[in-house]
A and B are shown apart, each in its own frame.
Chain A
Amino acid sequence: MELRKVDGNTWEIPRQGDMLVPGVIYASERLLKDIRRDLTLTQARNVACLPGIRKMSYVMPDAHQGYGFPIGGVAAFDLDEGVISPGGVGYDINCGVRLLATGYRDKDIAARRKELLAGIFKEVPAGVGKGGVTKLSLGVLKEILVEGAEWAVRNGYGLPEDLERTEEGGRMRDAEPGGLSNRAMERGIPQLGTLGAGNHFLEIQKVAEVFDPETARAFGIVGVGQVTVMIHCGSRGLGHQVASDFIERMENERGTDGLPDRELVHAPFRSDLGRSYYGAMCAAVNYAFANRQMIAHWVRDVFARVLGGPAAMGQVYDVCHNVAKVETHRIDGVETRLCVHRKGATRSFGPGRREIPAAFRAVGQPVIIPGSMGTSSYILAGTAEAEEKSFGSTAHGAGRVMSRHEAHKRFRGERIRDELAARGIELRTANLKGVAEEASEAYKDVDEVVRVSDEAGLGRLVARVVPVGVMKG
């Protein structure tokens, strides 16, 4: 596809054919080469054709091919003339990342690393088909779908102050559990408080580098050697079923004619069907917030038990990277209400936005970007520039470059475990074979992704963390 180079990290897909707006890709030449290898750009062009899209169809530095919308795609639609699309959110609704900054130093845990990881592995169910420890009733599930992380805190999982350090306060107010099918509920009941499998993980980390000490301090990151915990998971089968159900309903009620890709199926935001999807999506978002809240609680318990706490285990932030939200953005100088879809993209609001907690309002929100297995992960800060350039969004991770199948052929789980161990990184997994799929070589270089994010102004580098213990589902 012909791209127009705007600057070293910005490329434009000029408006053509049915495109209502241009496409914009934020990537270095190196990342663009990866992005060009699959259908990412075609998908970004398709998104630019959807009714009511405003400004641009954006592609983040870690983008790769998705279904309908690319992973790493950001698109905002006018509330009155525009649409909402399950394909613009993704199957794993509110897949996201939570970061805890502890009062422990790496030397405090060095000798107890194995024990900590074993404890977490025991407390946090992970892996395919693994049910949770809590047997929920349908009534309780509905409470969770309405209240999200608030439900978890009310029931003794974690601290009230965690809520203000969670996007949306851990609860999207527009949740409508009535819009969920029985199937979605049935899938949700056994899986609450589970990590899942695939690319989901839980890491014990240490701070390796601080780029901006002042902002880091505002986030609770005090310096090199501090122990952090990162939790990456989402809404499990419940969210996947909500996505599948609404794709089907939108197809049945609105047809598929004229769609370049069936997963671009959508409904006007202000229609019964659009509202119904939004309400169900918010409920799935809340389930995922509760999920990460419970997991964080168990992690704190294990740390306290093994290390004889009570060192602080405060929450830095909890971010969603698969979500659609109603937000106000300035377009051509006019404040406009939009439905912003971020699919494999993290909100990156800068200083002053009322949506972010008071503690961060002077520096911008924490943006948590996990790397791949054994690599660094990063903490960035949202910027005012991102609000101009990407509706306040940046990358969400490393992004795959190699198929799972290819990774299976090239790598062995045992070998990866031994190599990590040689680097001082402990690995616990329910599925050693599956670890091969998550080899860091199968992912883009996260260092390059965050470098571009910083350089392009989408998110400022604050700190880098490295794993000392990894738990995979």
Chain B
Amino acid sequence: MGHSSGRYRILPHTADGKFQAYGATLEEAFGNAALATASLMWDWTKVEPRTRYAVHMKARDLKQLLVKFLGEVIYLLETRRFLLGEVAGLTIEREEASSRIEAVFIGDALADRYALFGDVKAVTYNEMKIEESDCGRYTVQVVVDM
């Protein structure tokens, strides 16, 4: 938990899990947010790359897209027993009335060699931010219900 080589930072929040994820592009920041979500439940750096899931979804705006994208990490854990270890090929298309995301989640099936230490129930809009700084770096901030 905590820092992971500049990808994200876990922040204090009374009841839930809060983090900021960073990237040179919006895509990178979203990918790091998925790893930050995983980091609240397991050590994604130890997950072996054995299984892949194609992830694609659309939403009415970027915030909803982020909620749905991160929700996929929880959904795949609960229904496929899948642990995310890496996000590849992430693309985001932004249009006026909808946004789309595509990515490949790479990881492994839950097994005894992996430890689960937290339960993320849902991704929320609470204190959510998606920001581009003056120097062109992206920060997303998310609170998840735990």
Contacts and interface: CB of A to CB of B under 8 A. Distances in A.
Contacts of B11: 405
B64 A248 contact: yes
A273 to B, nearest CB: 15
Contact of A128 (B1, B117, B123, B128): B117
B126 A129 contact: no
A277 to B, nearest CB: 15
A60 to B, nearest CB: 14
Nearest to A401: B14
A433 interface: yes
Given A128-B119, A197-B119, A244-B67, A190 B14 contact: no
B145 A190 contact: no
Contacts of A433: 115, 117
Contacts of B128: 262
Nearest to A65: B14
Given A67-B126, A400-B15, A251 B118 contact: no
A129 B128 CA distance: 26
A64 B14 contact: yes
A37 B13 CA distance: 11
Contacts of A243: 122
A403 B146 CA distance: 11
Contacts of A237: 74, 78, 121
Contact of B118 (A128, A191, A248): A128
A115 to B, nearest CB: 25
A109 B10 CA distance: 43
B121 A91 contact: yes
B77 A129 contact: yes
Given A400-B14, A403-B13, A67 B74 contact: no
A131 B116 CA distance: 13
Interface string A185-227: 0110011000011100000000000000000000000000000
Nearest to A130: B116
| Chain B interface bracket (under 10, 10 to 19, 20 to 34, 35 or more) | 35 or more
| Chain A interface bracket (under 10, 10 to 19, 20 to 34, 35 or more) | 35 or more
A176 B145 CA distance: 25
B12 interface: yes
B99 interface: no
Contacts, number: 118
Contacts of A190: 78-79
A470 interface: no
Contact of A197 (B18, B64, B118): B118
Contacts of B110: 129
A127 B116 contact: yes
Given A91-B122, A433-B117, A191 B78 contact: yes
Interface in A398-414: 400-406, 408
B115 to A, nearest CB: 8
A433 B41 CA distance: 11
Contacts of B146: 198, 404
Q: Which of B10, B77, B119 has the most CB of A within 10 A?
A: B119
Contacts of A241: 75
Contacts of B143: 67
Contacts of B13: 403-405
B84 to A, nearest CB: 13
Nearest to A186: B79
Interface of A: 37-38, 64-68, 71, 90-92, 127-129, 131, 183, 186-187, 190-191, 196-198, 237, 240-241, 243-244, 247-248, 251-252, 261-263, 400-406, 408, 431, 433-434, 437, 473
Given A198-B119, A247-B125, 17 more contacts: A64-B15, A65-B126, A66-B126, A90-B145, A129-B81, A183-B79, A190-B78, A196-B119, A241-B75, A261-B126, A262-B128, A401-B14, A404-B13, A405-B1, A408-B1, A431-B115, A431-B118
29 contacts: A37-B14, A38-B14, A65-B15, A66-B126, A67-B124, A67-B143, A90-B145, A91-B122, A92-B121, A128-B119, A129-B78, A129-B110, A186-B75, A186-B78, A187-B75, A190-B79, A197-B116, A197-B119, A198-B118, A237-B74, A244-B67, A248-B67, A263-B125, A400-B14, A402-B14, A403-B18, A405-B17, A431-B115, A433-B115
